[in-house]
Copies of this chain bind each other. A is one copy, B any other.
């Protein structure tokens, strides 16, 4: 996957900056929420916004709209698109981590958020569902579920999902409706459900899940992605392995160079918000990839 040109990759819809009405904001776990947002009008022009279209793997930058009062600066927060709906709305699946996500969790239906998107490249659209393995860690599951939900239902895709504890799954219903039972492995650190151990241990103990796999899509905390990539190099040496990075992204629009990662054969670090967030694992400079990436996924 060569570095994309400076503009958004072809075939992806152009991004817009819109004000969204929160349709719902539902707690689905101790620190997990799903928020559904309906774009209403363009933030700059006030014109009505058409609905939201994107490709799985893309993300949006979400923040409080400007109010004409006290200036109170904050970065927007990058959030993977988790679902898109027929009415043009979209959902994000998020974890309360710090100040920004805590604030999101306090909002209710009818409140307004500002949103820019879709941004970034996409998970591979041509990966065959039946020979693709999804490996998600924590909130990193969001883009993977989005990807699988776009295919046949029930999906022939295999899913390994690592969480700390049963309560942290958050989206059991969605997972059960999209994936078949025999294609799903939940791994918990505390053994409260499914396999007791991390995703790599789970994969090692369940070789049927990797049989015939040609594509692996990974998203989660950096140590988990690193370990999974090592597993793949040994056990699936011919598979195309993709990782979706969650580097800190101050702007998400390719404006600041705050989100860069080192890529093999690229003379300079590349902007993960623009060239990524999805990278072929084999092209990443794993040795220098920032520790901040996916630090709270």
Contact = CB atoms under 8 A, between A and B. Distances in A.
Contacts of A74: 70
Contacts of A69: 99
A188 to B, nearest CB: 33
A72 interface: yes
B72 A99 contact: no
A70 B69 CA distance: 16
A29 to B, nearest CB: 23
Nearest to A73: B70
Nearest to A103: B69
Give chain A's interface residue range (CB within 8 Å of chain B).
under 10
Contacts of A99: 69-70
Copy tally for this chain in the complex stands at: 2
A63 to B, nearest CB: 14
* A contacts with B: majority SS: loop
Interface in A53-98: 69-70, 72, 74
A270 B70 CA distance: 32
Contacts of A70: 72, 74, 99
A72 B72 CA distance: 8
A286 to B, nearest CB: 36
A279 to B, nearest CB: 34
A70 to B, nearest CB: 7
A1 B201 CA distance: 85
A70 B99 CA distance: 9
A2 B70 CA distance: 41
Interface string A7-42: 000000000000000000000000000000000000
A133 to B, nearest CB: 41
A284 B219 CA distance: 73
Nearest to A69: B99
A75 to B, nearest CB: 12
A262 B99 CA distance: 47
Contacts of A72: 70, 72
A91 to B, nearest CB: 27
A74 B71 CA distance: 12
A217 to B, nearest CB: 36
Nearest to A102: B69
A74 B69 CA distance: 13
A138 B204 CA distance: 79
A72 B71 CA distance: 9
A99 B72 CA distance: 14
A135 to B, nearest CB: 36
Give the top 5 A-B pairs by smallest Cβ distance, nearest first.
Answer: A72-B72, A69-B99, A70-B72, A70-B99, A70-B74
5 contacts: A69-B99, A70-B72, A70-B74, A70-B99, A72-B72
